[in-house]
Amino acid sequence: MMYVLVTELDEVLDNVKQFNADLKAGRDVNDQLSQFTHWYYISELDQFGPSKYVGYKNMTSNDYLRGDGKDGRDTEKVLKNWFATLDEEDTRYTPLWVKLNDMLYEYRKSLRKNAKIHVLK
């Protein structure tokens, strides 16, 4: 399957919503939570999504889990159009880190020590 990178912010928002819906529905993507490094936070949704999931058009957990052809380096390049990496000194960093860590904990997963949080520019 050929995966196509997102070209509009609205596609990212749709993917973040889908990712969170898939989590709540107990989809198999839950097993991958500890493997994600780059997390993208949408304040208007109050939700996170990982780069390899939210960076491709029309992503679902079934598509995500369906094999190779996805590269986080590619998604991170395109997501930089709208997002910036949150520095640890930023006042938003700790509350968002705690929120993300708590979200993963609900699924008995832990956040990677080298995880990065990205927010809209």
pTM above 0.75, yes or no: yes
CA distance 94 to 114: 14
Q: Among 74, 42, 45, which residue's Cα sits nearest to residue 57?
A: 74
* Tens of each residue's pLDDT in the chain, 121 residues: 678 999 999 999 999 999 999 999 987 888 889 999 999 999 999 999 999 899 999 998 887 776 667 777 899 999 999 999 999 999 999 999 999 999 999 999 999 999 999 999 9
CB 37 within 8 A of CB 48: no
CA distance 59 to 15: 6
